[in-house]
Amino acid sequence: MNIGKYLRLRRIVRSDGRTVIIALDHGIALGPIKGIEDPVLTLKNLLKCNIDAIMLNRGLLLKAYNVVAGRTGIVLSIGDVKELLDIKSIVKDALKLGAVALKVMVLIDDEIEGATVSKLSTLSIISNMWGIPLIAEVYPRKSRSLNVIAKYCRIVSEIGVDLIKTFYTRDKSSFKYVVNASLSPIVVLGGPKVENIRDLLAMTKNAVEAGAIGVAYGRNVWQYERPELMVKALNMIVHEGVEVNEALRVLEGGDA
């Protein structure tokens, strides 16, 4: 057994096998958008909530390591897998920074590139050697059809990643197909902030019932007017199995 990897995974996934991860790594792609104009302040506020892990870029972690210390599991985002150069140094740096997992982007256009497969394989092998879990964000940029998402989740899981973050498909039945196609557990990404909160909660509920182990949401949490209530509602669905209406009442009632 890889004891180090097991212990680090348990910093992300609770004993119930579920997780609520908050993604705060958007600044490297989107800049100072609403909600992360001051990312350190946003991080401080999120850490008051009962989150299982926080997803950060290296720069924010260097700026705010004293804020996050001892509070939650740190998932270090390391960029696009095919752009990685010295993979061994990246893994060592993540361990030195106290990360409990790595998250790498797997961007796909029409087909997954050979360079992507090769580098992801190398990253998987090295991260496993050093006992740090690897999360792959499977992100098809052109088609996000059921078959495309299922196909690439399967490919990435065959390479050996420990966890996959990807899009929810159109309904519970189709997403169950994605979950069953993958050899690795799946968490659902949130994407841009949704206008209908019920839809977000329903997606969360359906995804978990279809077999996802949780969520990795960003903008739909820290762009919400009261992130602490959104985290509570997500925890209720993911960890407690409550129905959407019950979680929605937390948001509508404003009782944290």
For the chain, the residue count is: 256
| Catalytic site includes residue 165 | yes
Specify the DSSP element, H or E, that contains 110: none
| Catalytic site includes residue 34 | no
From the candidates 82, 151, 165, 205, which is the catalytic residue? 165
CB 89 within 8 A of CB 114: no
Alpha-carbon dihedral sign for residues 23, 151, 213, 144: positive
The 3 state secondary structure assigned to 24-42 is CCCHHHHCCCCCCCCHHHH
Alpha-carbon dihedral sign for residues 250, 254, 255, 256: positive
From the candidates 80, 139, 172, 176, which is the catalytic residue? 139
Alpha-carbon dihedral sign for residues 64, 68, 69, 72: negative
| Catalytic site includes residue 177 | no
From the candidates 25, 162, 217, 224, which is the catalytic residue? 25
Active site residues: 25, 139, 165
